Structure 1
Amino acid sequence: MNIKQIETFQIRIPLNKPFKTALRTVTEADTIYVKITLEDGTIGYGEAPPTLVITGDSLRSIKYCIEEVFKPLLIGQSIKNIHQLLEKIHRAIVRNTSAKAAIDMALFDCLARSANLPLYQLLGGYRNKIETDYTVSVNRPDEMAQDAQEYVSQGFSILKVKVGKDQIEQDIKRIKAIRERIGTSTTIRLDANQGWSVKEAIYAINKMEELGLDIELVEQPVIANDIEGLKEVTTQTHTLIMADESVFSPVDARRVLETRSSDLINIKLMKSGGIYHALKINHMAETFGIPCMVGSMIETKLGITAAAHFAASQPNITRYDFDAPLMLSDDTIYGGAQYTQNIMTLPDEPGLGVKTINKAYIL
């Protein structure tokens, strides 16, 4: 079960429609795939998309980190000692969490394949079906309402609405327009992507509560490093507040949990550096009685499948944001998680259940 080879591939695939948040606009998905091959022929896959405005990782930095830093540490090593290997990569370089996540996924994929188990079962096996939300990009109120109506007609019962790009009153208009168009039976979550000040967040959330817009939660309303401000928003509003960019590592999670600065935590493998640290964050949150969501960046079905295996394995993870592959013009892998509208089903095949890469999108 020793590692024989580590390869990287760059993937590029267009989005069906531009994805807009308070931080960026994306029209195509660029990402790095990693393939680990063991001496017995077992193969494991991982993915690392660059998200400069959140993780700071670029295509070049991801590729360099995997090929020049991690590869020399891992070749010839046994995946039976997976925690030892993961400790090595986390200590070898600071940050670079997306590159770490890609290696982490591929190692866990290899281990689960060697054990002849789907990864979600190896990690705990709590469930094999989960419901994803669908994201409404930030645009004009009427366009967002139209998009929301379209996603509901496609079978999605939970919408994650992007806000925080401009004036706070415009965000309130956006949510009013969406709620008026789709009615009251659909769950609405907001994601400000750090786009509000503390006062703006408290004003906007209280105003939406007064208007009866029925918002389930608000994700990362303020800048990531303002934990005191995040706590103030949490204590001054009734709506659930979720930390996202404020929590990358278990150390970040401890700070948020000990200060009771949010009601929920959004775990992303690209922030945590993979499943190894994501499990730690979730277990810490569970100890504090704080549920978690698992989300994603603009990833292909490879990275999302790994995140879904992790999320499905843990009872404390109660919300899922895995719509990114549905935004892409095609699949970049064969196999992996399967979508039936808003429901994702994890495969029974060993590991991630990924069969191979769609070579049409390899650059």
Structure 2
Amino acid sequence: MKITQIKLYQLNVGLKKPFKTALRTVETAAEVIVKIFTDQGLVGIGEAPPTAVITGETTASICALIASRIRPLLVGEDPTNLEKIHFLIEESAVNNHSAKAAVEIAIYDLLAQSYQVPLFRFLGGYRNSLTTDLTISVNSPAEMREDALTAVADGYQSLKIKVGKNSKLDLARIKAISQAVGPEIKLRLDANQAWHPKQAVYLIRELEKESLALEFVEQPVPAADLTGLKYVKDNVLTAIMADESLFNSADCLRLIKEQACDLLNIKLMKTGGIYNALQINSIAQAAGIKVMLGSMLEAKVSVTAAAHLAAAKKNIVYLDLDAPQLLAEDPVQGGIEFSASKIKLAETPGLGIKEVANLTELSSYNL
């Protein structure tokens, strides 16, 4: 089997309501869709969201890298030569993680299709269903309380609460949600790097004094501040998770060596795809550290790939794959199926994605 063409498309999908974090506010999910064609008629599909505030990538940079650097390397290659393909992608340029992830997801889709098995079975096959949390965007305490109550009424048992814009309000937000939903609902905080270390310790300790049980707090301090991350971890009882501090295996080893966190959040758009994510999970498992599989603001193509990875591996125990549930519509036919917090993986080969509606071909990149 040979790769004959790689084409790029734009997908824009509105959100049910604006997605707000300490880093940004988004009203429309803008995705780059990648399709890889072969001489045997198989087509693999991948996706990358431009997330400049985290990965540094834009739609233009994603498309330019794939069209000018990756496509010339892959056309004519056999996608089943996974090790070779991975390093062709990996060494095409430094960084550019989401662009690489989109292409590699499509490669893994092709690979599993060629063996006529769903990707999660090809990768390990530990389970075929998952449970995700739902993200509560940062807003006023009253609005976040209502959003949390709606999520619980819809069947969600874990809520990921965005905080970080105002310390005083953050405490009010969390208290309002906790009092509204009760102790049976698991609360996860995500500060998106917004706090400094002493501020984070103060806020988390205040919540602990109130007996507001938090499952964990995600990335409380800036990504590069591993000393600060360790300071927070060592001075609170609540588990601390690294997210933006973790892009690759070297980051994983550094976080573990410095004992800077309790948990790790893997995202395909940070790792550059499935290959590196598998390496990170193996290192974490060897160190006795549990992993969450998360996502950016993505549509169902790349979230389906993340779900297949999560279903394949026992050590991935936390899921933050709610992004498609935040969209006003689902343009993707096939792939994973959501029933509120429950995610079901089909037995269809590869990712099982049949079609994506409303795609606009990026003809200037498809020459």
The equivalent residue for 1:271 is: 270
Superimposed CA distance per residue, residues 213-236 of structure 1 (whole angstroms, 9 cap, x where no aligned partner): 111100000000000110110111
Q: Secondary structure at the match of 1:159?
A: strand
1:63-120 Cα distance to aligned partner (Å, 9 max, x none): 1111111000000001121111111111110000000000110000000000000000
Aligned residues: 362
Alpha-carbon RMSD: 0.9
Which amino acid in the other structure matches residue 251 of structure 1? A
Give the partner amino acid of 1:5: Q
Unaligned runs of 5+ in 2: 363-367
- Please list the CA deviations of residues 195-227 of structure 1 after superposition, one character each: whole Å capped at 9, or x if unmatched: 100001000111100101111100000000000
- Aligned residue number for residue 327 of structure 1: 326
CA 1:153–1:12: 2 relative to 1, 3 Å: same
Query: Structure 1: where are the runs of 5+ without partners?
Result: none
Q: The residue matched to 2:318 in structure 1 has which SS? A: strand
Within-5 A mapping of 1:53-202: 53-166=53-166, 168-202=167-201
TM-score, structure 2 length as denominator? 0.97
Give TM-score scaled by structure 1 length.
Answer: 0.98
Is 1:219–1:242's contact at 8 Å kept on the other side of the alignment? yes
| Alpha-carbon contact 2:4-2:75 (below 8 Å) kept | yes
3-state secondary structure, aligned to 1:87: helix
Aligned ranges 1:230-269 → 2 under 5 Å: 230-269=229-268
Q: Identity of paired residues, percent?
A: 47
The residue that corresponds to 2:23 in the other structure is 23
SS in 1 for 2:144: helix
Q: Deviations over 1:281-316 (max 9, x none)?
A: 000000100000000000001110001001110100
CA distance in structure 2 between the partners assigned to 1:359 and 1:92 by the alignment = 30
CA distance in 2 between partners of 1:70 and 1:311 (Å): 26
Q: Is the 8 A contact 2:10 2:359 kept in 1?
A: no
1:180 CA drift (Å): 1.0
**Pairwise CA distance, 1:359:** 2.9
Partner of 2:254, secondary structure, is: helix
Q: Per the alignment, in what secondary structure is the counterpart of residue 359 of structure 1?
A: coil
Asked if the contact 1:12–1:361 (Cα under 8 Å) also holds between the matched residues in 2, the reply is no
Task: Confirm or deny: 8 A CA contact 1:125 1:314 kept in the other structure.
Answer: yes
Match of 1:289 in 2: 288
Write the deviation string for residues 225-269 of structure 1: whole angstroms up to 9, x where unpaired. Answer: 000110110111110000000000111111001111100000000
8 Å CA contact 1:11–1:362 kept in 2: the answer is no
Residue number in structure 2 paired with 1:8: 8
Counterpart amino acid of 1:179?
Answer: S
Quick check: 1:332–1:361 contact (8 Å CA) kept in 2?
A: no
Cα distance in structure 1, aligned partners of 2:347 and 2:71: 30
Report what 2:44 is aligned to: 44
Distance 1:73 1:360 in 2: 25
For 1:95, the aligned partner's letter is N
Q: Is the 8 A contact 2:216 2:238 kept in 1?
A: yes
Question: Which residue pairs with 2:209 in the alignment?
Answer: 210
Q: Could you tell me how far apart the structure 1 residues matched to 2:181 and 2:361 are?
A: 39
Name the CA distance, whole Å, in 1 between partners of 2:177 and 2:356: 38
Partners in 2 of 1:247 and 1:226 — Cα distance?
Answer: 12
Compute the displacement of 1:38 (Å).
1.0
Q: Quote the Cα distance in structure 2 between the aligned partners of 1:100 and 1:83.
A: 14
Task: Work out the CA distance in 2 between the residues paired with 1:362 and 1:326.
Answer: 25
Q: Give me the whole-angstrom Cα distance separating, in 2, the residues matched to 1:13 and 1:345.
A: 23
What SS does the corresponding residue of 2:343 show, helix, strand or coil? strand
Tell me if structure 2 keeps the 8 A contact 1:45–1:109: yes
- Determine the C-alpha separation between the residues in 2 that align with 1:99 and 1:171: 34
Between the aligned partners of 2:343 and 2:332, the Cα distance in structure 1 is: 16
Using the alignment, how far apart are the partners of 1:41 and 1:73 within structure 2?
20
Rounded Cα–Cα distance in structure 2 between residues aligned with 1:11 and 1:60: 14
For residue 362 of structure 1, report the CA deviation from its aligned partner. Answer: 6.5
Q: 2:302 & 2:94 partners in 1: Cα distance?
A: 21
The separation in 1 between residues aligned to 2:69 and 2:194, in whole angstroms, is 35
Deviations 1:324-352 (A, max 9, x none): 10111111211000011110001110000
Q: Equivalents in 1 of 2:278, 2:215: separation in Å? A: 25
Secondary structure of 2:216's partner? strand
Q: Name the SS for the 1:184 alignment partner.
A: coil
Q: Deviations over 1:44-63 (max 9, x none)?
A: 00000000000001000001
Q: Secondary structure at the match of 2:81?
A: helix
2:350 pairs with 1:351? yes
The one-letter code of the counterpart of 2:252 is A
